[in-house]
Structure 1
C-alpha cells in the first residue's frame, strides 16, 4: 500500500468517526494514528528515517518499536511541545478576562484606533508580534482580547478572530527567525536580511488578502461567541458594563501580554545584540524560553486576578476551570500531533519528492505545490518546508532567472495549504475560539488557502518585475 493511499484512508477514517459516528475528536484522531501505524511498512519507515538523516541503529529501533508505544511517543512529543504552553496560556487568558484586564486593553485599543478600525488593529498587531514569537503563542495571548472585543459587536467575532489569525500565521513560514524560513534561507545560502525583507513584503500582501476574505466570510457566515469552560459570555458582558475605575490599570493589564513577547524576543535576538556577553545570553535564553516566559507571565496574571477578586474560593475556582479547559485542548492537540507524526512515518515526503521529479513544471509553482501537498498530508508547516527544500535542491542551479529568495518564499507560502485535522494548530484554534470543525475549516483552513495562493501570485509577479539577478 502506498503512502498516499494510506493517508487517504486514514483521513477518511478520521472524518467518518467525527462526522458520522460523532466520536470525540481525540478518540477519532487516535484511531486514525493507530490505523496509519498498522498500515506503515518497515520499508516506509526506512525511507522516512533516511529523509530524517537517522543512522542504521536509529532506523532499526524505529522499525522495531511496538505500535502502542509508537503512537504514545508521538502523542507525548506533541504534548511536550504544546502542553505547558496551552496550560499556562489558558491561565493567562482566564486571568485577563476574569480580572477585567482584557476589557481594559480593548477600551484602550478602541480609543487609539477607533471602533471601525479595531479589526485592522488585530491584524497589524498580530502580524508584528508573530515576527519574533511563534504564532501559537501570539494566538494564546490575543484570543482573550478577541473575545472581549467581540462582546461589543458579536456579529464581528469571526472578523476579529480571522484578522488575528491572518496577521500572525504567515510570519511563521515567511520571516526568520522561525525555524522553517530560517532553515530554507540557510540551505539556499540566502542572506537573512533579504529573507526578512522579502518575507515582510509578501507577508503584507498575504495578510491583506486574508483580511479581505475575513470581511467576506464574516458577512456570509455567522460565528457566535460561545461560552467556554473557563469564561462565560455573560461574564464578559458584565465587564463591558463596568466603569474604568472598576477595572485594573492599563499598564498592569497589558503586562501579562507584553512580558512573554519581550522575553521571547530577547532570547531570539540575544546573540545578535550581545555577541560577546555569554552570561547575559545564557540568562536571556533561560527566561526567554517560551515555557518559562509564559510561566512568569502566568504568575503576573494570577497576581492581577487575585488583586481584583480577593476571594480564595473564587480565585481557586477560576484557575481550576482554566486548567480543566486546557486539559481538553492538550488532549485533542496531542492526538492530532500523533496522527500527523504517524502520517510522516509513511514516508510521504520521499514519495512526494519522487513524484515531483517526474513533472517538469515552472519552478516557483512546483516548489509551492510540493510544499502544499506535504503540508496537507502530514500537518506540519516546518516539516513541509524542509521536505520541499530537499526536493527542490535537486532542480535548483546557479542559473536561476530570479533571486533564490523568491523560491524560499514560494515554499513558505505553500506550507499554508491546507491546515486541517492533522495539524495541532487546527485544534488549538478550534477549541480556544469555540468553533466547530466545519466552522474552523471555513474560518481557518480556507483563510490560509486564500493567503497562500495570494502569496504565490505575489512571489511570481515580484520575481518577474524585480528579479534582482
Structure 2
C-alpha cells in the first residue's frame, strides 16, 4: 500500500499524550524542528543536545505534560540505542580493523592495478562502494581521500573525475544501505525487514551511484578545475605494516555480513515457514547482530592476524574504534527520542486524520519530509530519523517490500543538497582544497543527483513490486 489513507490501521497509532488540535500540533512540530535547526546552525550546539532540547520544546508547545514528554524522549532514546547501538559498534570495529590492518589499502591497490585511463572513475566508485559498506561516511572520507588525491596526481587525472565517483560511492552506501546508522534506525522505526531493505537498497544504489559518480564526474570536471592540494597528501595508512591481508580474504570479510543478511531474506521469501528448521537457522545467522558479529570475529583473523597483529594490538584496535562513535550513538539515540516524542504527541494520528482526501504517494511524502529536514539541519542521519518517525504510521498496513521502499525513500531524501550546515560539505571542501562555490557545484549537486535519482527509482519500484 503506497498511498496515504485514513484506512491504514489508525487504531494502531498510540493514544497521544496531549489533546492539542491539529493546528497547535502542526505548529509544535515546526517549532521543534526550528529549535533543532537554530541550535545546530546558529549556536553550533551539538546535535545530541539540540535534538534533546527540540524534543522537549515540541512536547511543551504541543501541551503535553512535561513528565510525559520526558518519558517519551527517554523511551525513544533507549529503544533506538538498544536496537541499533550494538550494530553501530560492531560496524565501527570492523571498519577500524579494515583500516588499521591495511586491508582497505589492499582492496584499493588491487583494483587500481587493474584499472587505468577511462576505467579509473569506475574503479574509484567500486572501491568507495565496497569500502563504504562497513564504514561510516566520515571514516570513509578520511580513509579514501588520500588515495583519491594520490591517484589524481600520479595519473594526471582531473580531481573531480576521481573524487566525485569516490564520494558518490560513500554517500550512496551511507544513505541507502544498512548497516549504516540512518537506514538502520529507519528500518527499526518503520518495522521494515532488514534483509529486504538491504536487497532493494543495493538494487537502487547501483544505478544511482553510476549516474551520480562516473557520469556526473564528467560534468563536474568541466565546472570545477581544481588542482590536487599537496598539503593533503599524507603517507599511506599501511606504510608501517610489514605485511597486510590478501585481497580475497579482505573482500570476503567485508561482504560476509551482507551475504548473510541477504541469504536470510532469500530463504524467508522461498520457504516462508517459521517452523522450518532451515529458515530458523538463517533467521539466526542472518540477523544483523550475528552477521556483523561474525564478520568482526572473522576479521580479527583474516585482517588482524594476517597483518601480524597480536592479541594486544587487536584489543587496542577494538578499543580505539569505539571511542569515536560515542557522539554518533548519542545523536542517533536522541533522534530516536525526538521520533518517539513526535509519535506520542499524536503527529502520526494527525497525518492520518488530515490525509483523508490526499492522493500524494506515501513514498513521495517520506522523501519530501526528509528533504526538508535535511536542508534545514544539514544532517542526513537526523533527517532520516525524524522523517521516519513522522511517516511511521503510514507503514502499518504496507507490504514488506513497500515498507522497505519507504525506508529507502526517506534515506534518499536525507541526502538532498548538502550545503554549509552539513559537516560533510566542509570535509569535502577542505580535503579537496575547494572554494565554497566549487564545493556547491560539485559535492552539493552530486548529493542532489543521488537524492533525486534514488527517489525516482524507489517510486518506479513501488509500481512493479
TM range (shorter): 0.5 to 0.7
Q: What is the CA–CA distance in structure 1 between the aligned matches of 2:47 and 2:125, rounded to whole Å? A: 30
Change (3 A) 1:312 1:435: farther
Q: What residue in structure 1 maps to residue 98 of structure 2?
A: 96
When the two structures are aligned, how many residues end up with a matched partner? 392
Report the alpha carbon displacement of residue 260 of structure 1 after superposing the two structures with TM: 1.0
List aligned pairs for 1:346-425, cutoff 5 A: 346-357=345-356, 367=362, 369-375=364-370, 376=372, 379-380=384-385, 387=393, 415-416=410-411, 418-419=413-414
Change (3 A) 1:367 1:318: closer
Structure having greater relative contact order (Cα 8 Å, sep ≥ 6): 2
Q: SS of 1:2's equivalent? A: helix
Cα deviations by residue, 1:98-146 (Å, 9 ceiling, x for unpaired):
111111111222244547545535656888x9xxxxxx99353898666
CA contact (8 A) 1:126 1:168 kept: no
List aligned pairs for 1:141-290, cutoff 5 A: 147-154=142-149, 155=159, 156-157=162-163, 159-166=165-172, 169=175, 206-211=208-213, 234=234, 237-239=236-238, 246-274=243-271, 278-290=276-288
Moved more, 247-256 or 201-210: 201-210
Report the alpha carbon displacement of residue 12 of structure 1 after superposing the two structures with TM: 2.0
Report the alpha carbon displacement of residue 97 of structure 1 after superposing the two structures with TM: 1.0
TM-score (normalised: structure 2): 0.64
Q: What is the CA–CA distance in structure 2 between the aligned matches of 1:92 and 1:3, rounded to whole Å? A: 43
CA contact (8 A) 2:384 2:414 kept: yes
Report the alpha carbon displacement of residue 322 of structure 1 after superposing the two structures with TM: 0.6
Unaligned runs of 5+ in 2: 1-22, 150-158, 179-185, 374-382, 431-435
Moved more, 99-108 or 146-155: 146-155
Q: What residue in structure 1 maps to residue 340 of structure 2?
A: 341
Q: What is the CA–CA distance in structure 1 between the aligned matches of 2:441 and 2:55, rounded to whole Å? A: 25
Report the alpha carbon displacement of residue 415 of structure 1 after superposing the two structures with TM: 3.3
Moved more, 284-293 or 211-220: 211-220
Q: What is the CA–CA distance in structure 2 between the aligned matches of 1:300 and 1:184, rounded to whole Å? A: 28
Cα deviations by residue, 1:364-400 (Å, 9 ceiling, x for unpaired):
x655543334445674465666655789x9xxxxxxx
Report the alpha carbon displacement of residue 19 of structure 1 after superposing the two structures with TM: 2.4
RMSD of equivalent CA atoms:
5.2
Q: SS of 1:239's equivalent? A: coil
CA contact (8 A) 1:109 1:118 kept: no
The one of 9, 16, 24 aligned to 1:2: 24
CA contact (8 A) 2:340 2:389 kept: no
Change (3 A) 1:169 1:23: closer
Report the alpha carbon displacement of residue 83 of structure 1 after superposing the two structures with TM: 0.8
